[in-house]
Structures are given as C-alpha cells and as structure tokens.
Amino acid sequence: MTVAIFTFSLLGAMALGMPIAFALIVCGIALMHSLDIFDSQIVAQNIINGADSFPLMAVPFFMLAGEIMNKGGLAKRIVAVALAMVGHVRGGLGYVTILASCVLASLSGSAAADAAALASLLVPMMVAAGHDKKNAAGLVAAGGIIAPVIPPSIGFVIFGVAGGVSISKLFLAGIVPGILLGVGLCFAWWWVARNEQLVQPPRKSLPEILRAIFDGFWALMLPAIIVVGLRFGIFTPTEAAVVVAVYALFVATCVYRELKWSQLYEVFVSAALSTAVVMFLVAAALVSSWLITVAEISHQVVDLVQPFMGSPTLLMLAVMVVVVIVGTALDMTPTILILTPILMPVIKQAGIDPVYFGVLFIINNAIGLITPPVGVVLNVVCGVSRISMEDIIKGVWPFMIAQLIVLLLLVLFPWLVMGPAKWFSG
C-alpha cells in the first residue's frame, strides 16, 4: 500500500505541473498521513538537514568552475588542441567533438554546460565541412553526457550523499567507463559519417600542434590535478571542487585573460542560480527519503525483485531497464534522489558493490539527458544549434544506442569498472 501511495502521490503532483522539489515534499507528506505520523516540524527539519551536508558544498564550486570554464576560454583551447591532433582525418571534426567532450568532462562535470560550449563552437564547423547538421548536433549532445561520468561529476556527488557511498571512489571508478563511452561514440560516428561528402581540414604541422598544446596547457593541467589529488589523498572531492574553481578562475583571469573582472558578478549569479535549483531538490528529497526508510518501502521493493536476487547480473539488467524508462520522464537529479534510497538496500542485499552500481546508475541517468521528451541536453543543443527537436532526435539515436551498448557491456563485465577503479584507488 505504501508503495502505491508513494508512486501515485509523486506522479499525481508532477502531473499537476508541480515542480519536482515540491512534488517530493508532497509525496513525503502523503506518506506521513498514511502512516499517521504527520508533523510539520519533521518536514521542516528534514528539508534543513537535506542541504546541511559538507560533501554537497562541492556542487556550487563545480557549477562555478563550469561557468568560468565556458566564459574564460578554457573550452575553446581544449577544442583547438583536439582539432590540431585529429581534425585532419576523415570525419575528424566528429572525433574532435568526442575528444573535446572527454576532456571538458574532466573540467566541469556539467553535461548541459559542456554541450552548450561544444555546440556553439563545433556544430557550425561540422556543417561547413559537409556533415549533416542533425548528426553533428546529435553527436555533440551525446558527447555532452560524458560529463556526469568522468570526474569531477556533480551526479556522483549527489549519488554519494544520497546513497552513503564514497565520492572519491566513485570519481576514480568513473574514469574508464567515461572513456569507454567516448570510444563507443567513435564507432558510431564512423558508421554515421562513412558516406558523407566531406571537406577535410588540412593536417596541422608539428609546430602548430605543439603551439596548440602549449596554449591549452593550463586547461589540460586541470584533469591531472584532480586525478592526482584524489588518487594520493591530497584533497577530498569537496576540496577538489574548491581547487578546480580557484584554478579555473586564476587561469581565466590571469593567464588567458578572457574573463574580465567586470564579468565575475554575472558568472557568480549564474552559478548561484544553478546551485539553488540542485540544493533545493536535494533538501526536498530528504523528506521523501526519510519516509521511504520509515515506511520500509525498500523492503517491499526487495520482495518484488526477489526472483532476480540470486543473479546480480539479471538484477542489474532489470534495474537498468527501469532507470532507462524513468529517465525518459525525469531529469537526472530528481531520478537520483528518488531512486537511490529505494534501490541501495536492494543492491546491498544482492551483494553488488555500491561503487559499481553507482557508476552504472549515473551512466544510465546521463543517457536519460538525451532521451526525449524531457532530455535536458537535447533542449540545450537545440537552442544553441538552432535545430528542431525532431531533427536532433533523428541525429542522436545512433549515438544513444552506442552508449546503451557500452552500458550493457559494463553490466555483463563488471571488471571493466572495478578493475581500473581498484588500480586508481591503489
């Protein structure tokens, strides 16, 4: 009964057009009434406790770093390095997009920010080179969703807080799966672009390549700082967020000098607005999360999936299918906040490593960012590239299928995640 109340109160509030954060609060209140334990002070206390978390301090700093990266010239230089290295091969601009997506993912952790930056820079170049605009925009959108997988990842921070999982381990475990998503996109791009009539950019000379690398050196150092710092315990993920923001600010204002001091107010306000949305969602989710625990909904879910409990692989496949379906209707952050408290007890009882599950769960949610009709990244790329939703859906599906295949391989072969994760964590 409580599962039905939880589901229908949440879906009912959303169907009425209520924002997700308020729908989560309504869902929690409905559960409290059904259990006859309603107390407005408990609701308020859980909302306050939801935002009162040290690891969540990483969110505003990663948001700020993403804003600085886009306004301060770091993104542009990453694209220039990728263009110098692989832009001359057939379909090279597509490979530039994928390579730049992987590198930018290690700078901001925001799929929408990365996709917006790459769409404004690369889609016009790809169209001028002879690529179909819908394929170009679809590739940029698919490349953008690598950002929540390769550290630093805002999704990992939220999942780690909601599920009580080490954020440092999640960060390190996401490196190789994120790269594999890029490899999958390379195969899909080769297939899509194989018959297009293209105008190839000229091959860059060695001095030009070295010049691009030298110019982008400061931007390229940021991923190394993050990985080395986490690998050797120099700083926590929250402290890493501060390091990233301060470093990006220094590079943008003092080295590249493309971010003017007069623009800082706009950058900080934009980051604050984005942070407020995420933090209020997290705070509101703790109300329903607390009620999920009190109502023992997780135990009821365990009973429902009991036939799969004997096979971790089948259980993971079943969970991934559910998350794919949910991802077509919900954004990434609400999906994490709603499903994590429900699924984590199931995963732990089945003997599945929470870090392994977290990586696959975030990849699945990231793919949801390019699934219609809600796909946030699709909408961002549509707006920046000035392309219709119908066209970008046609362009993105080959790349989405490639990423789903990568996800399936990670389910079938867990060592692809856990092997590199153990190596990185020492």
Model-level pTM greater than 0.75?
A: yes
pLDDT at 54: 72
Residue 86 has pLDDT above 70, yes or no: yes
On whether residue 47 sits in a domain, the answer given is no
Provide φ and ψ at 350, rounded to 5°. -80, -5
- Determine the average pLDDT of the residues in 249-277: 87
What is the rounded CA–CA span in Å between residue 77 and residue 102? 14
CA 344 from centre of chain: 19
Q: What is the pLDDT of residues 29-75, one digit of tens each?
A: 887 888 777 778 878 887 787 777 777 787 888 888 878 877 888 87
On whether residue 128 sits in a domain, the answer given is yes
pLDDT confidence band for 376 (50 / 70 / 90): confident
On whether residue 239 sits in a domain, the answer given is yes
On whether residue 249 sits in a domain, the answer given is yes
Q: What is the pLDDT of residues 136-171, one digit of tens each?
A: 999 999 998 998 898 878 889 889 988 889 888 998
Q: What is the pLDDT of residues 218-249, one digit of tens each?
A: 888 887 888 788 777 787 878 888 888 898 89
What is the rounded CA–CA span in Å between residue 342 and residue 111? 25
Please say whether the beta carbons of 156 and 111 come within 8 A.
Answer: no
On whether residue 11 sits in a domain, the answer given is no
On whether residue 352 sits in a domain, the answer given is yes
Cβ burial 17-34 (10 Å sphere, 16+ → b, else e)? eeebbebbbbbbbbbbeb
Which residues 6+ apart lie within 8 Å of 185 measured at CB? 98, 101, 139, 142, 143, 399, 402, 403
pLDDT at 176: 92
| Domain extent for 410 | 53-279+301-425
Residue found under tokens 């799929």:
111
- What value does the mean pLDDT of the chain take? 83
State the total domains in the chain: 1
pLDDT at 188: 94
Nearest to 114 by CA among 124, 123, 122, 105: 105
On whether residue 8 sits in a domain, the answer given is no
On whether residue 275 sits in a domain, the answer given is yes
Q: What is the pLDDT of residues 87-104, one digit of tens each?
A: 777 778 888 889 888 888
> Coil, helix or strand for 386?
coil
Q: What is the pLDDT of residues 323-350, one digit of tens each?
A: 888 877 677 888 888 888 888 888 888 8
Residue 275 has pLDDT above 90, yes or no: no
pLDDT confidence band for 413 (50 / 70 / 90): very high
